[in-house]
Amino acid sequence: MNKLKFSIIILFGVLVLFACDNSETRKGRFLLKGNEKLKQNDPQAAIEFYTEALQIDQKYKDGLYNRGLVYQQLNRLEDAIKDFSVILQENPSDTLALFQRGVCYMDNGEYYKALEDSKNLLTLQPENWKSHFLTGLVLEKMRDYPKALNSFNNSLIYQPDNAEVLINKATLHFYLKEFEKSEAALDLAQKLNPDEPNIYNLRSMISFESKDYEKALDWIEESIKINSKEAFFYNNRGLYLIYLGELDKGLEDINYSLKQNPKNLYAIRNKAIYYYYKNQKDIALNYFEEVLKKDPEMELVKEYMAKYNQE
């Protein structure tokens, strides 16, 4: 749920080229070329141009920041963390780099480092919605849902019309089984941004919890219609199809999701459920045990393990 928007630094104004080219002009020109490649959806070429700028000046903040963002988008999290850390070594109060490094640490599973960055951000900008939002995201990953919810509520104090924060708040209410509160937050988010696919994904999950599998399928189709590239939408659709008796169609979606992210434990769990209903229960058990080792609290796993033991 924590899909974040990235802001590339752009040089404003015109670079005036003198007869004698200087380093500021050259590194700025490489930055602009990198930005152009990014607009053309060529992130690797963008990285190369940002690197050219950094060969002129290893501590060039704009080059480090932009390259770090592209690394982050490509899930090269260690590389992104290094770039943001160079900025922070020069200026520990750089809130842009601090926020993005915190997100990278979180996505890399380094939750305590992410939490430290979020605490520093709160110290520097206690009245900025993003400071509280990052804290909430990290606490959510650490499964401290009440504190995470409190952080999202604090974030909304400073930016009440932020659909992204509202969706994350709705997600926490969902985890806490507070479905009416989750729906209320989603209603607000949908008014602000009706084209956000995560709204309909979460509505599908609420419908699934209510055992309304047809409605769950309708909602997830809305998500896929808006964003047909998001792997976890297909994983959810695969689960709903299994519960509607369309086992092989469900497996097709789950396998598609796993190709995008082979470590997705929810997809592995859903594959186990598929094999359970195909009466290939030894295969199902292997998948369930794999998930159980890595996430003992995941929904549905213990339920199916109990069914297996009763048979």
Residue 6: pLDDT band (50, 70, 90) is: low
Phi, psi of 114 (to 5 degrees): -65, -40
The pLDDT score that the predictor gives to residue 204 is 98
Q: Give me 177's structure tokens.
A: 């089984």
The pLDDT score that the predictor gives to residue 166 is 98
Higher pLDDT, 10 or 294: 294
Give just the sign of the alpha carbon dihedral 283, 286, 292, 294: negative
For 212-250, the pLDDT digits (tens) are 999 999 999 999 999 999 999 999 999 999 999 999 999
Contact, 139 vs 170, CB < 8 A?
no
Higher pLDDT, 2 or 154: 154
For the cut 90, the answer to whether the pLDDT of residue 132 exceeds it is yes
Higher pLDDT, 71 or 22: 71
Burial class (CB in 10 A: 0-12, 13-18, 19+), 246: middle
Please, what is the average pLDDT of the chain? 92
Contact, 169 vs 152, CB < 8 A?
yes
Return the beta strands (E) in the chain as ranges: none
Please give the model's pTM, rounded to 2 decimal places: 0.85
The pLDDT score that the predictor gives to residue 187 is 98
What is the mean predicted confidence (pLDDT) over 273-284?
95
The pLDDT score that the predictor gives to residue 17 is 43
The lowest-confidence range among 8-17, 28-37, 199-208 is 8-17
Q: Which residues contact 243 (CB under 8 A, 6 or more apart)?
A: 208, 213
Contact, 63 vs 30, CB < 8 A?
yes
For the cut 60, the answer to whether the pLDDT of residue 11 exceeds it is no
Of 232, 309, 240, 233, give the one whose Cα is nearest residue 273. 240
The pLDDT score that the predictor gives to residue 18 is 42
For 18-42, the pLDDT digits (tens) are 434 578 888 889 999 999 998 999 9
Contact, 55 vs 86, CB < 8 A?
no
For the cut 90, the answer to whether the pLDDT of residue 311 exceeds it is no
For 281-300, the pLDDT digits (tens) are 899 999 999 999 999 989 99
